[in-house]
Amino acid sequence: MKGGAVASSKTSDGQEEDEEIADGNSGNGGGSEDVELVSVAARAFDPRPFFRLFSNIIEDFTAPESGFQGELPRLRVLTAIGNTLHAVQPSRVPQFAFAWVELISHRSFMPLLLDSPNQGGWMLMQVLICDALSFMRPYLQKVELTDSIRTLYKGLLCILLVLLHDFPSFLCQYHFAFCDLIPTTCVQMRNLVLSAFPRTMRLPDPFTPNLKVGELPEISIAPRILSDYIVRFYILLFLHTLVSLLSFFYAYVLTYSFYYLKHFPYSQPLTPLTQQTPLTQQMAVTTIYMNTNSIHTTKTDNFGSS
């Protein structure tokens, strides 16, 4: 067609069938053309080239023969890669979700990031895991899951299993942020996070007779929580206070409205200023001024008489 883009597709008989995508001479305007082209591009997105690109970058920059020798230069490279993955998280690019989950669990990325000195890469890894959980949360709250979401859920479970086996302290110190994003319907995923304990801790035998957990010496050691849970509590407190203030204001407005309707039942609605003439506006101001003076005079007389 003239001025339009045509996509060809094959039918069952092997013949090519032309399908019109957008026509420049149609009367729908340019906006509908852009929407159709964007939707077609979204359906035709192939994440494999981008996955190969990111995978090669991770392997090349973290290889021993690369120019980034030492723990600090390697951490800077991993941080730059992690920030890039955070920018293209599944909530922003859903078509890249499967490749994205595989990239954050890459053998040359996640172990090296968590093995960084002084836990320098733990915060970034926690952000990436929270990105995956934030994307999965609306779907996991539903009882029925599609095949694609179920596959992503299994992949996320595998990542948590690896973290539980190799880096249990990471799950221990960030369990608050993870459980805050995992729905209560995902019992297995929450149990994976909550079952982690540090390697230096030895759990007591649950079959010990007369076992009292409160009398164990480890119970006096405060756990280390790296999640910013205090800010979360302040946000909840602020929302609760805001709801209380809005409820009080709503009740006050209703009470005042009922009082006004009860004492002034025949009040006429005000005419908008745009529809009033200058003479009408001057008369309205004069009336308000006289009413105000009469009110003050009445209050003064009452006070003087009393």
Could you count the other beta carbons within 10 Å of the beta carbon of residue 82?
A: 21
Indicate whether 78 and 178 sit together in one domain: yes
Which pLDDT score is estimated for 261?
A: 65
pLDDT along the chain (306 residues), means of 10: 40 40 41 54 76 91 78 87 93 92 92 88 92 92 85 93 92 88 89 87 79 76 70 72 81 72 55 51 50 44 41
Question: Do 191 and 236 share a structural domain?
Answer: no
In the prediction, which pLDDT does 84 show? 93
Q: What is the pLDDT of residue 229?
A: 65
pLDDT, residue 39, reads: 56
Contact 214, 225 (CB under 8 A): no
| Residue with tokens 């035998």, as numbered in its chain | 205
Number of structural domains found in the chain: 2
Q: What is the pLDDT of residue 18?
A: 38
Same domain, 89 and 63: yes
Asked whether residue 61 is assigned to any structural domain, the reply reads yes
Instruction: Report the C-alpha gap between 252 and 263 in whole angstroms.
Output: 17
Residue 177 lies in a domain: yes
Range of the domain at 247: 228-265
Q: Are strands 16-23 and 4-10 parallel, antiparallel or unpaired?
A: antiparallel
Same domain, 247 and 182: no
Say if residue 51 is in the same domain as residue 197. yes
Is the CB of residue 88 less than 8 Å from the CB of residue 76?
Answer: no
**170, 171, 191, 223 from 202: Cα distances, Å:** 17, 17, 19, 15
pTM of the predicted model as reported, rounded to 2 decimal places: 0.61
Residue 262 has a pLDDT of: 63
State the pLDDT at residue 56: 92
Q: Are residues 192 and 101 in the same domain?
A: yes
Distance from C-alpha of 160 to C-alpha of 194, rounded to nearest angstrom: 11
| Structural domain includes residue 161 | yes
| Whether residues 216 and 235 fall in one domain | no
Same domain, 153 and 248: no
Check whether residue 249 and residue 134 sit in a common domain: no
- 92 and 129 in a single domain? The answer is yes
Q: Go through 37-68 and write b for each residue having 16 or more CB atoms within 10 A of its CB, e for each that does not.
A: eeeeeeeeeebeebbeebbebbeebbeeeeeb
pLDDT of res. 68 = 75
Is 168 a domain residue? yes
pLDDT on residue 7: 40
Q: In whole angstroms, what is the distance from residue 149 CA to residue 169 CA?
A: 28
